[in-house]
Copies of this chain bind each other. A is one copy, B any other.
Amino acid sequence: MTTMVKVAKLAGVSISTVSHVLNGTRNVNDETRQKVLKAIEETSYRQDALARAMRRSRTDSIGLIVSDGGEPAFAEMIRGVEETAASQGVTLLLANSAEDPQREARAVQALLERRVDGLILARVAGSGLDAISEFANHETPLVLMDRLSEDPYDQVGVENREPIRELVQHLTAQGHERILLIAGDTRVATLRERHEAFTEAMAAAGIPAAKQLAVAAHDSKETDAGIRKALGAAKPPTAVIACSTVLAAAALRQIQQRGLRMPDDIAFAVFDGFAYADLFEPQLTTVRQPAFDVGSTAAELLAKRIADKSREPAIVRLAPVIEYRASTGPAPA
């Protein structure tokens, strides 16, 4: 492998000079610079980012740990982070915890050992401060993404409450009272917020908590059972709000099995939705998350934090867009 020594010899200068023309860190006589550039060309020299990072104690790399790489929304966030990082000349180290606290802890460890300049973390559901506690005594910048918390870190996620409120209003305005919320695993912060907003919005519409319908469960089996029970009740729901894509798929399967027509037999809306929601029959009312922007905002916040570690933690909530479609009847004015 070519190193600076070889380049310097060929150009007849010191390695200091090679380094400085490479990095533009001091004035170099134009003739000298040309010689160096030529030598670099001839030897097809490539800088060693590792050695450079070690000397500068800065790697120009960031880590990203997602809790569920299989979810389309996370795939989008990854793209957002990658694109912004690339535009900053920063390399992205990616890990997927797959909702496993152990894998999350190992990933944090591995990325910290690699001396990333900062870390973006979408935490696994239900894990306490475990992974984060690594950062308590640690100076590595951290940004929480999507899975937010009360901790004093920079955070980016979407606004979960307002869209649910709007959805509930949209449905109650059409006379729906028995609205079923498929809430999923409410240990996940995003899902918990959606559930809470539902409870409040329904109460505000005059439907007390005791009369509200919701399926909150830790796994898909429980969820399926909950949906089955709800749909098969003597007084089944006339509308469904699913709090995630997976939950929506589970509900739609049972709705199809029962031969229920949307929106006449049952209205249907989904938070986060399907990649091609417009191809469904009927088209599905969807709360579309700006997932790409969540990712790129996370990368931006991290860059700012790296540049200035003493700034106030920022908490950013991006607004989803509700796309009203046929599955919930006529769109609001």
Contact = CB atoms under 8 A, between A and B. Distances in A.
Interface of A: 44, 46-51, 53-54, 59, 61, 69-70, 72, 75-76, 78-79, 82-83, 86, 89, 91-96, 98, 103, 106-107, 109-115, 137, 249, 252-253, 256, 274-276, 278-281
A50 B82 contact: no
A305 B314 CA distance: 45
A53 B113 CA distance: 11
Contact of A279 (B59, B103, B109, B253): B253
A83 B50 CA distance: 24
Given A96-B79, A114-B61, A279 B70 contact: no
Given A50-B59, A86-B103, 14 more contacts: A47-B113, A48-B54, A48-B113, A49-B114, A61-B114, A72-B275, A78-B78, A79-B96, A82-B94, A86-B95, A86-B96, A92-B95, A256-B281, A279-B280
Contact of A79 (B70, B91, B112): B70
A283 to B, nearest CB: 9
A116 to B, nearest CB: 10
A77 to B, nearest CB: 11
A329 to B, nearest CB: 18
B96 A93 contact: no
Nearest to A83: B96
Contact of A274 (B49, B95, B275): B275
Given A96-B83, A249-B279, A69 B75 contact: yes
A111 B47 CA distance: 11
Contacts of A253: 278-279
Given A48-B113, A51-B54, A256 B275 contact: no
A78 B94 contact: yes
20 contacts: A46-B109, A46-B112, A46-B113, A47-B113, A48-B54, A49-B114, A50-B53, A50-B59, A54-B54, A69-B75, A70-B75, A70-B79, A75-B78, A82-B95, A86-B106, A91-B110, A252-B276, A253-B279, A256-B279, A274-B274
